[in-house]
Amino acid sequence: MHKLNDSEMMNINGGSISVGAVLLITAGVTLVAGIVDGIIRPLRCN
């Protein structure tokens, strides 16, 4: 096994999904959950 030095460690690109993609997916799930909740149990405005 080869030990990596500091400069080699800094050049590693990890993960195939970015933080922005995770936030976008989370926002989409939240939006869909809100829409489904509004359809299933609509609440009256006061």
**Cα 23 to Cα 21: distance, rounded to the nearest angstrom:** 5
Every domain of the chain and the residues it spans: 19-46
Q: State the first-to-last Cα distance of the chain, in angstroms, to the nearest integer.
A: 67
pLDDT in tens, 15-43: 778 889 999 999 999 999 999 999 999 98
pLDDT of residue 46: 74
Indicate whether this model's pTM tops 0.75: no
CA–CA separation, 37 and 44 (whole Å):
13
Calpha distance 29→15 (Å, rounded): 21
Structure tokens belonging to residue 44: 């009256």
